Amino acid sequence: MAMMGRSNSMMHEGILRENKQMVEVGANFILSHPAPNHKPWSIMNKSDQAGFKKSLLAFDKILDIHTESLVEAAKNENWMAASKASHELMNSCISCHSMWRHKVK
């Protein structure tokens, strides 16, 4: 999660500075990160692990969609669209956290 946060911060700063290379560098981790070598669903009770794992897989695709939109907008120097995509990306993160944070063991 720390790397996701740093990547998001770099993309946000890239939008503020209108620096498309900074956006692309920040996006690279989100778009190419490897699956964790630990079992992140193990932070949940057994009864919630399968659902949490499905959410992680679903949200991974959603994060990629918003990140790709952000990069495309930055490449076109459409900073308002990049900002909107960044907002959607952050809302996706917050949505997942909201759904699961109270179920962590």
pLDDT at 97 exceeding the cut of 80 = yes
Q: What is the pLDDT of residue 1?
A: 76
pTM, whole model, 2 decimals? 0.87
Rounded to 5 degrees, what are φ and ψ at 44? -100, 160
Look up residue 85 and give its two tokens: 């995509």
**Pair 31, 67: CB distance under 8 Å:** yes
Mutual angle of helices 2-17 and 20-32, in 10-degree steps:
160
Mean pLDDT of the chain: 93
The span from the CA of 68 to the CA of 82, in Å, is 10
Q: What is the pLDDT of residues 61-87, one digit of tens each?
A: 999 999 999 999 999 999 999 999 999
Q: Which of 95, 100, 94, 89 is nearest to 30 (CA)?
A: 89
Question: Can you tell me the mean pLDDT for 76-102?
Answer: 96
pLDDT band at 33 (very low <50, low <70, confident <90, very high): confident
Spell out the residues 6+ positions from residue 103 whose beta carbon is closer than 8 angstroms to its own: 44, 45, 48, 52
